[in-house]
Structures are given as structure tokens and as C-alpha cells.
Structure 1
Amino acid sequence: MPPSPVYRPEPRFFDLGEDYGDAVRAAAFPRAILRFRNDRAAAEVGLETLSDAEWIDHFGRFAPLPGQPGPIAMRYHGHQFRTYNPDLGDGRGFLAAQMRDSAGRLLDLGTKGSGQTPWSRGADGRLTLKGGVREVLAAEMLRRLGVPTSRAFSLIETGEALERGDEPSPTRSAVLVRLSHSHIRFGTFQRAAYLGRKDQLETLLEHARSTYHPDVAPGEAAGFLAAVVSASARLAARWVAAGFVHGVLNTDNLNVTGESFDYGPWRFLPHYEPGFTAAYFDQFGLYAFARQPEAVFWALTQLGGALKPLGDAQALTDALNGFGPAYIRELRAAFLERLGVLSLGEAADQRLVDAALALLREGGEAMRWEPLFHDWFAGFASSARALSGPRAALYRSKAFADFRFALFEHEPDRPERLEAPRFAVAEPEEMRIDEVEAIWAAIDRDDDWGPFEAKIARLRAD
């Protein structure tokens, strides 16, 4: 069956040529068992009409979709934990296709675990099934919480036994496909700058500007950087409002559209803990929860440095200096959205953010992150529900009095949303690590996908 009429292939990055990527072939996997297909996302790009067999052919064996030239491993460099690495690039993934969605945006289908490439550096190019399951869950939860995120598009189990040093082995293998609004990383620009290729920088700038930030004038490196700064500030703010810790904020894991992607050692906060880290190897807390805005800004300065051959140094600096004010604005907006109330102006909105964080801090381990936003969504309209719920005893402190005062200043935003089924239950949907491990244990032990499928269904409800 051909894709639906909505399908609009447009492989623009492929047209940049071999300086930016290498033609590759996917690994020949011994099996292809479809475990997850995201028909919601597929419908937006005209691929929901594929049969399961066709889906597996395109996303397990990687037969090119109509109008697509075949996969390429993208070239990039990057700072990893602030150490520059010129030996990066797509080592276990590739750009499989690009197409327009129903809103006209150019989207990528990129892989993870699709086999070795010229940039694998001796690794096997594979993905564990557990890693794929975790990526699906992270993307679904972040989307529910309003974070700009890539979407897990497909997960296919591939029938190999993988050896890994950081989890019980042998373990099952998979290939993941994600739908993302660009895989052009900060590190893509860093590579061209490192090689001294001003021509490549100019080509990348024009491609990324015209494709993702068309309001920026041609050739305006500082204007482009300002657009990326703005998008990245929004992303960092929404991670914080969601209580999310990405885990690895290297410059090859941040892209020019400000969309979160590549979920490895992620976590959601169990409770407010500024120093909470997601990666066991982040021994110094470089990418801890509260340091994520700092990490994003540092990465942006590296992008700004890469763009120096194309723009005025002061203008680039001015663009970078916009991050702090943009982050504060976006954090206020994200907290208001999560609490379901309208803005009352900068001062009152900031009081609410400060009071919410103070309450979460004082509540300690008993005050989990997500329930606060569940209990008090729409402000005063949730009073009876919250004060008779399981956390009523926590709402008797001085910190809560300050929070209540700041919250009740704000008018509810569409309070009819409280009629949604999610607010009829006492506990919100969360994504704590013990639940993630239980979902995986059911799959690993009994090949029971029921808890995984039920979790996805709940995250998508209402």
C-alpha cells in the first residue's frame, strides 16, 4: 500500500552532499518483531496507512520510503562533558527520511540501533530493547507534560543477544525510529568550524536558517543564534517545570530547533532535589537537574563560537546574553501552564514560581514533584479536591500558605479542563524509575507487554 496523500517527502538534508553525511546500510537483523508503532505520529506525515509488514520493511529492514534516497550517517563533532571530541558522528543511527507534516514542518525520521557506520568507533551499533522501551516511555511522558520533544515512532525487536557492561547480559536488541524536528546538532556546526571550512558553515547556516528559522534574514548568523537561544531557553524551562533530567547534555545532544531528543540515562525527579543526576557516570553532577539551564547555555556558547567566522562577535555575544532573560520568561510561562492559571504579570508570576519551588523543597521526599501540579491545577477551583486528597496533610505548612496566596492571585485558565478523567483520580500519571523497571521486568521475564501498553494508553488519555 502506498503512503497516504498526506505523505510529502522532502529529503533536504540529503541534498547537502557528502561533506555532511555518509551513505550507509542498516544491519541485517535476524528477526523483526514489531513492538510499538506510533500511528498518531504516522498520521501527521502520511504513513499511518502502512500495513505492519510494510512498516517492518521500512523501519526494521529500512527499505527506502518513496522519494527518499536511502539512509545517511550524519557527521558532527561535539563536547562530551565539556571535553571536545572530533571522532563523533552517527555511530549507531542514521537519518532515514525527511518529510513535511500536516502543519508544513520538515521532520526527520532518525534511527537508533540500526547498525554500524563509519562513526561507530568499534562499537556494535546496536540498541538494547530495554533502551528502546525507555526511550518510548520518556518521549510519551514529555509530550504529555508539554515539553518540545522528538516522538518515538517505531520500536522493533531484532533478535540479537547483546553484551553490555552496565546491565545484565546478554540482553535483547531493538531498533528505534524517532520522528524529530531536525537532527542538526550544535556539534554539526562545531565540526565545520573545527575543520576550518567556512564554506560548510555558510551552507549549514543557510540550510538551517531557511528550513527551521525562516524569519531570520539570510546570512544573519547572530539572528540565527538568537533564534536557537530562544528555542533552547524554552526547552530548558520546560524540562525544569516537568521535573525532568535529561542526563547527557553534550553539544551533540542539542539541536537547532530546541527539541529534546536522544533519551539515554534520563530520570524524572522523585521529589525536589537540585543536585539529582540521571547518569551514573555524571560523577560531578555536571548535568544535574538544577544545572540543566547552565549546561544548555554553555552548549550555546560553543555554537556561538562555531559561528564566529560568519558573524559579528558582539552581535553573537548579544544573542547569547538573551538566554538568561528568555529562560526566566519561559520558566514562568511553563509553571503557569502546568498549574493551569493565567498570567498576572511578571512580579506575581515569579512569586508563584518561587512559592511552588519553596513548597516542593520544604515538602522533602513526601512531596513528589508531579502530584503538586495535579492537585492544584486551575488554582482555587481545585481546593476541595486537593485538601481532601492524599496529600492534604502536606498542605498545612507556612510554605503552603505562601504558595496558596500566590496561586489564588491567578485566575484559572479554562477550568473546565478539570472535568477530564485525569483529575477524577487521586494520583497523577508519573514516570518514576521503579515503575519503569517494573514495566521492563514484565517484558524481560515473561514477554508481557501489557504494562507497557497500558502505560502508553494512560499517558495518551484525555
Structure 2
Amino acid sequence: MMSNPQPTNYTPGPYTPATDIMTLPDLSVPVEAALFPQHIVRFRNDRRAASIGLDHLSDEIWVEHFGKFTSLAGSLELPLALKYHGHQFRTYNPDIGDGRGFLFAQMRDSMGRLMDLGTKGSGQTPYSRFGDGRLTLKGGVREILATEMLEALGVPTSGTFSLIETGEALERGDEPSPTRSAVMVRLSHSHVRIGSFQRAATIGDTALLEGLISYSLEKLYQVQPGDNPAAQLLNLVVERTADLAASYMVAGFVHGVLNTDNINITGESFDYGPWRFTPYWDARFTAAYFDHQGLYAFGRQAEAIHWDVAQLAIALRTISDSPPLIEALERFPVLYAEALRRRFCWRLGVATPDTESAKMLVEEAVRAMIADKVMIDQFFFDWRGGSLRNDDAQARYESELWLPFKSVIAQYSQPMLGNTPYWQGNGPCSTHIEEVEHIWSAIAERDDWQPLNAKVAKIREMGDAHWAENMTVPLDKV
């Protein structure tokens, strides 16, 4: 069963190391981290670190583990580069894998979930091909902004755990060079992806495929395998990824590269490259400059993720009959529509009396936003709780285009609008490309990190406001 949007786990807990990934020896190869000439801590996520018992580390010890990659006690002895294949823009590529990152450590969080610490920019691996295995500092800054914003908007996402500047000059063809380098660590609920299953199926390794299924069910979803574990897992992945697709839409987020090697088996969003937030509800809006056909455009993300999950079904078909897999896949459109309604109401801060009303709410809101060119973030801010907050907001919605939406929203039950400072402010917190570039310019030109720190604080204020009243919309209502 799909759940309501859930807040990120910040509950403090003890450090509880794990090595569960070692039960799948054919999934990875041990590697060594690069040696960097410099280590400057630029970002450490102590909120997330508290949930795995690592927030108490000094900066010196932090660098030792997350810049020099000295192993954490009781966890993996050596970093592991994961092996996987994947469809990249729907062309199958068997020559990929962790090319500039690795799985550094595993542990359980304060909720008992198995968590991974994975890297980006930690050096070359056997799968680097022609890459240098490095990450630009700008890429790391962008990942901080993406994960913080998504977290605040209720999207299930990995968290940027650490960013350390490493003192190298990198050459890149898509940004001014030489440019500064960094190594990033993310905290994620698994790094097993659809491409992991595709590789196992393609090379004919049935034992690995069955092992991946058992690992995913028992370690990640924390359920016992049933009579048909492959179909059981596919149903869970369909539920999680349908919700993920809906969460992207309600957040106004465009991932940019929804290849099968970028879809986590847990349905958690991760690995942010050319992402953007679209200012307007524009189905054709793309994030990646190289997405010439708009394959991963804003309005096609549900289609793209559904297609990716179908590739998982094809991989699982090697050990399962097709009918139960097809049945699982066919659930996606309905689950996506349900999740879109539920998440739309959650971000608005309203509870809806019935499914048809929620459907009309979303349709009329989207229709009016498009026709009247109202920004997504502005709409959700102005209508938080189901009614407009002041005269300025009233003026933005005087057009007759909004009459159908106003008629629907008037049917809603008691508004759930809090009195937190964020909702009493002058406008919404957005993270559009112009501000991202402004934040980076301050760092690149003056080594000024204040705009980034201030933005993270503002985003977190918004996130705290979203969760302040523990608002939930009952599943049977939408």
C-alpha cells in the first residue's frame, strides 16, 4: 500500500554498522579512493548524520572518513564499485557501472532501515571508461540544492551528506574550465537500481538475480519473500515509483536523466546531474541540454519511469511467469493518478472529501496555472490551507480562468494552515536556475558561501513548515 508523504528521518540514533551488501559478492568490485591534495569541508549534513549516529564527529575525523575514506568501524573494509547495466535514453548500455563513485559504508538508521553512504567524485574505477572519476565543486553545490529542496517538498530522495573541496583543477566541456573539484557523499536507502537487475539478467546470472530479489525484499523493503518473489518485488517497486513520479510533478521538478541505471529499486530519487525546477506547469520543459527529443521532459516523467520499471519486469521475466509481472505493471497508471491527487492535496494543505473532487481539484488547478501563467510555487504558497491569505494573493487570481478551481476548492473541509513564519512571509521559496547560478557565482568569483548557506536555511524553514502540523490525507479519501 502506498503511503502519504513522509518527513525525512532526523531522529537521532546510535551508530549501527552493517555489511549486508557483502551477501551479493558478484554485484561489486573493491576499489580505492583517489588521493586529493586538499580537503576543505564545505557542507556537512548533521541533521541526516544524527539519524545514523555520526553527527558527533569533529571536522578532522569527518575529513578522515568522507574525504580520505578511511573505513568506518564495523562497516565495509574497502569501498565497492557497483556493477550494473542500463538503458540510457532508451539505448541499452552494458558498459557502465560506478565510474566516479563507490559504496563506502552501510549502517542502519534510527528507524532500523538499511542505509548506504555512497560517493560521487571519489576517483576512477574499472568502470570510469574515459572519465577522470572526479566531481566539479559546482556539481556538488547543485546536488545540495536539489536534495534539500526535494526533501522539503516531501519527495523521497537521497540526502547530500557531505561535500569536501579537494583542490584540483578540472577540465569540463560543459562549463568554464579549469573549474574547482570536490568529493561528495550521499546518504541513500540503497544504491541497487533497475540496471543492477538488467545486468544480472543479461549475463544470465540467475543466482545473482535471485539474490538481488531476496536482498531487496528482506533488507530494503523488510518483508519476507512470498510464493512469487519476483512479482512481489515488482509490485512494491511499481507502488514506490508511481509515487516518486507524482512527487516530481507536484514539486515542479525535472530530474533530467531518468535512465534505468538512475532508478533506485526502493523508489528513492537520487543522482542529480542536469536537474531543474520548472517555474511553470510546462509539460515540455526539459532539464538536460542534450535531451533534444524531450524524452525526460516535465510532463513525460511518469511515462519514462513506467517504461523503466517495465525493463525491470523484462529482467525478472527470466525467472518468473509473465502474467503476474504484467498485472503489476498495469497498476502503475492508477497508482500514479492516486499519488498525484494525494500529494497535490498535501502540498496545498487540504483534505478532500472524495476521489472525484480531488481529481477535479488537480485538473482545474493545472488548467488555470497553465492558462494564466501562474508559477507553481506561487500557486501552492498562495492557496495553502485552501484559501487565499491576503489582498495581494487575491489580485493574482481575479481572472475568470480561476472560477472552476475556486468552485472546487470551496468544497474542502477545514483548512490546515499553520502559523509558522514561513507561511506568513512575502512569497514562496523557489530554486530556479537563475538563483542556482547566482549562488554558484558567489562561490566561484568570491569564495562566498553565505548565499548557499542562507538558501539551505530558507529551504529547511519551508520544509519544517510543511511538516509542522503533521498533515496527512487519508488514502481512502483520494
- Pair in the same fold by TM > 0.5: yes
Alignment-derived partner of residue 458 in structure 1: 458
**How far apart are residue 410 of structure 1 and its match?**
1.4
Secondary structure of the corresponding residue to residue 64 of structure 1? coil
**How far apart are residue 5 of structure 1 and its match?**
7.0
- Given candidates 23, 38, 44, the residue that maps to 2:45 is 38
For residues 177-224 of structure 1, the C-alpha deviation after alignment (integer angstroms, 9 at most, x for no partner) is 000011100000000000011111111111111112233534521111
Secondary structure of the corresponding residue to residue 154 of structure 2? coil
2:284 equivalent to 1:275: yes
Alignment-derived partner of residue 469 in structure 2: none
Alignment-derived partner of residue 171 in structure 1: 179
Secondary structure of the corresponding residue to residue 218 of structure 2? helix
Q: Supply the distance in 1 between the matched residues of 2:452 and 2:376 (Cα, whole angstroms).
A: 22
**How far apart are residue 394 of structure 1 and its match?**
2.9
2:364 equivalent to 1:362: no
2:302 equivalent to 1:300: no
Q: CA 1:5 to 1:294, structure 2 compared with 1: closer, same or farther past 3 Å? A: closer
Q: Supply the distance in 2 between the matched residues of 1:392 and 1:442 (Cα, whole angstroms).
A: 36
Q: Supply the distance in 2 between the matched residues of 1:456 and 1:433 (Cα, whole angstroms).
A: 15
**Which TM-score applies when normalising by structure 2?**
0.92
Aligned residue runs from structure 1 range 120-131, under 5 A: 120-131=128-139
Aligned residue runs from structure 1 range 205-244, under 5 A: 205-215=213-223, 217-218=225-226, 219-244=228-253
Alignment-derived partner of residue 471 in structure 2: none
- Given candidates 8, 18, 28, the residue that maps to 1:10 is 18
**How far apart are residue 414 of structure 1 and its match?**
3.1
Secondary structure of the corresponding residue to residue 252 of structure 1? helix
Secondary structure of the corresponding residue to residue 104 of structure 2? strand
For residues 94-145 of structure 1, the C-alpha deviation after alignment (integer angstroms, 9 at most, x for no partner) is 0001111001111110000000000000210000000000000000000010
Answer yes or no: is the 8 Å Cα contact 1:193–1:201 preserved in 2: yes
- Given candidates 393, 397, 400, the residue that maps to 2:399 is 397
**How far apart are residue 332 of structure 1 and its match?**
0.3
Equivalenced residue count is: 449
Answer yes or no: is the 8 Å Cα contact 2:42–2:165 preserved in 1: yes
Q: Supply the distance in 1 between the matched residues of 2:282 and 2:129 (Cα, whole angstroms).
A: 36
Q: CA 1:193 to 1:31, structure 2 compared with 1: closer, same or farther past 3 Å? A: same
2:151 equivalent to 1:143: yes
Q: Supply the distance in 2 between the matched residues of 1:237 and 1:338 (Cα, whole angstroms).
A: 12
Answer yes or no: is the 8 Å Cα contact 1:216–1:223 preserved in 2: no
2:190 equivalent to 1:188: no
Secondary structure of the corresponding residue to residue 341 of structure 2? helix
- Given candidates 24, 30, 40, the residue that maps to 1:23 is 30
For residues 215-237 of structure 1, the C-alpha deviation after alignment (integer angstroms, 9 at most, x for no partner) is 35345211110000000000000
Alignment-derived partner of residue 410 in structure 1: 412
Q: Supply the distance in 2 between the matched residues of 1:395 and 1:216 (Cα, whole angstroms).
A: 51
1:202 alignment partner AA: E
For residues 73-105 of structure 1, the C-alpha deviation after alignment (integer angstroms, 9 at most, x for no partner) is 000000000000000100000000111100111
Secondary structure of the corresponding residue to residue 397 of structure 2? helix
2:78 alignment partner AA: G
**How far apart are residue 250 of structure 1 and its match?**
0.1
1:193 alignment partner AA: A
Q: Supply the distance in 2 between the matched residues of 1:433 and 1:114 (Cα, whole angstroms).
A: 26
Alignment-derived partner of residue 67 in structure 1: 74
1:187 alignment partner AA: G
For residues 329-387 of structure 1, the C-alpha deviation after alignment (integer angstroms, 9 at most, x for no partner) is 000001000100002111000000001101111122xx11101000001013xx242xx
Q: Supply the distance in 1 between the matched residues of 2:435 and 2:56 (Cα, whole angstroms).
A: 33
**How far apart are residue 326 of structure 1 and its match?**
0.3
2:65 equivalent to 1:47: no
Q: Percent identity?
A: 53
For residues 273-316 of structure 1, the C-alpha deviation after alignment (integer angstroms, 9 at most, x for no partner) is 11000000000000000000000000000000000122120000
**How far apart are residue 392 of structure 1 and its match?**
3.7
Q: Supply the distance in 2 between the matched residues of 1:276 and 1:207 (Cα, whole angstroms).
A: 37
Secondary structure of the corresponding residue to residue 434 of structure 1? helix
The structure, 1 or 2, with the larger RCO (C-alpha pairs under 8 Å, 6+ apart) is: 2
2:190 alignment partner AA: S
1:87 alignment partner AA: D
Alignment-derived partner of residue 430 in structure 1: 430
**Which TM-score applies when normalising by structure 1?**
0.95
2:19 alignment partner AA: P
Runs of 4+ in 1 over 2 A off after TM superposition: 213-219, 391-394, 412-415
